[in-house]
Amino acid sequence: MTKAMAPRSRKVRVLATLGPASNTPEMIAALHSAGADAFRINMSHGDQESKIPVIEAIRALEKSTGRPITILADLQGPKLRVGKFADGKVMLETGATFRLDRDKTPGDATRVELPHREIFEAVTEGARLLLDDGKMVLRVTGYGADWIDTRVEVGGALSNSKGLNVPDMILPLAALTEKDRSDLAFAVAQKVDWIALSFVQRPEDLAEARRLIGGQTALLAKIEKPSAVARLEEIVEACDGVMVARGDLGVELPPQNVPPMQKRIVETARRMGRPVIVATQMLESMITSPSPTRAEVSDVATAVYDGADAIMLSAESAAGQWPVESVTMMDAIADSVERDPAHGDRVHFTVMHPDPTTADALAEAAKSIAANVSASGIICFTMSGSTARRIARERPSVPILVLTPKIETARRMGLLWGTHAVHTRDVDSFEDMVAKAKRMAMRHGIAKGGDRVVVCAGVPFGTPGSTNVLHVVTIVGDELKGRS
């Protein structure tokens, strides 16, 4: 018997990052109860062994609640850093000259090692080099095989091993480092549901990760570089979902360019039927404060109005002083926005153009029929999850109950807008499909006696990608009888 868990009242998903402030079983359960639908494990921090009890705690919570819970493993990606200084830190004066070279000698106020040959191969005169998350700006004035001369446009204190961003170059870097390959293999072995690839520059960057994953989990591309935005549609086509990683994107782009870029990425992902997450600094002040600023609340609300599939907490839930309160606040903001009578119109501002396929046509029809007959929900039978993704892309006004015999598919739904996934046995006939749809709709609070639901499935049953049935059924009072 499948345990009955009522769907969240909101449709946008909440993704919470786990870390020192929240990685105990008790805190994970508290975050889930507060509204977290999915959990992000940041592979940049800690070793692999420390992640095992966290994953086990999530799976134990999943078992106790009867609700599939999504785990996303976020790979670190290639990190660019300067070398070390003789005194640990220098002051770069605005207007001064500064050299980056291949010399391992500790640096000073005139030069420092840059241990990344790829930058020397890709550099061009006039290119910007951003240091320490964009706090300092260098402009390239000349270069050679093993040196780059710059002028300091924005100065500041620069210390050992600070990060470097190169927004004006496409580097010949492998998308996966040796650490990433090891972490990816670990994540696949631990059966996580999504793997996020950092610093994607081009669609080809996804190929090796896709090959190593071998179809065992879903692949998400983090859009955090201008070069990725230049080939956005190709990247979205090559992955299973995308993240608007506004932290690094905001370093490499002028701040005023980030909001329209966010809207463009969300719109493109929605149009192409890929889940899209808006992330970074959403409730940043709640790292140290029990309440957010009004501007942060508005920022989260904007992502919900834009129709993002999920909104993410980073340090707020991973290392902040108020992790549960941060999730509670994000849940409350999303719920309030979705209750706004204008929300439906704004979510549908992005015009969907279904592909000329039977599955897309039925997904579009399911939304329209549900509205026209005042259905209380859409029931989706799926193996791979593709039917659910197509329906979610249409942003129907009613909940989407996803019934699947594959636990992997059920877990991946935690990043998909409007879905409530249930892991349950498959059906083997049309009559079984109708009966099961009615029972599960009532059991999970989607419908009650007298309500209508729209059922979407594929015949023959159990065949992925065969969506070809759309059926409207009416619930009667005794539908809870029978097997789950």
Residues recognised as catalytic: 40, 81, 222, 280
Read off the tokens for 171: 């580097």
Q: Do residues 100 and 158 lie in contact, with contact meaning Cβ atoms separated by under 8 Å?
A: no
- Report how far residue 344's alpha carbon sits from residue 305's, in angstroms, rounded to the nearest whole number: 8
Cβ neighbours of residue 477 closer than 8 Å, sequence gap 6 or more: 449
Between the alpha carbon of residue 383 and those of residues 274, 386, 457, 463, the distances in Å are: 17, 8, 10, 7
Amino acid letter for position 47: D
Q: Which residue has the tokens 């870097």?
A: 173
- Report how far residue 442's alpha carbon sits from residue 85's, in angstroms, rounded to the nearest whole number: 66
Phi, psi dihedral angles at 185 (to 5 degrees): -60, -40
Q: Closest Cα to residue 247, out of 235, 234, 231, 262?
A: 262
Q: Which helix (H) or strand (E) holds 370?
A: helix 358-372
Q: Do residues 207 and 176 lie in contact, with contact meaning Cβ atoms separated by under 8 Å?
A: no
- Report how far residue 161's alpha carbon sits from residue 12's, in angstroms, rounded to the nearest whole number: 38
Helices (H), 190-282: 205-213, 226-230, 232-238, 246-252, 258-271
Q: Do residues 307 and 350 lie in contact, with contact meaning Cβ atoms separated by under 8 Å?
A: yes
